[in-house]
Amino acid sequence: MWARLLDGARGVATSVRRFVRESTGEAAYDRYVAAHAGADHPPLTRAQWWRARDDARELLTHDRCC
């Protein structure tokens, strides 16, 4: 009985962790690193990647009235 409860608690904790990582963007950096695993250049550091991501988002914003 305790084993099932413990497994259930682990499942909930894993789901919560996954949700938090997705909502904060941490999982996106991990996907970036995995995608660049075979590249001939090293991936950006976490700080460089966040900076580049923020810069790209700023470029995509448009000032408009509506």
Q: Would you list the domain boundaries of the chain?
A: 2-60
Nearest one of 58, 3, 51 to 25, comparing CA atoms:
51
* Cα 13 to Cα 27: distance, rounded to the nearest angstrom: 16
**pLDDT digits over 21-58, tens only?**
888 888 999 999 999 888 898 999 999 999 999 898 88
Residue 9: the pLDDT is 81
Residue 64: the pLDDT is 66
pTM above 0.75, yes or no: no
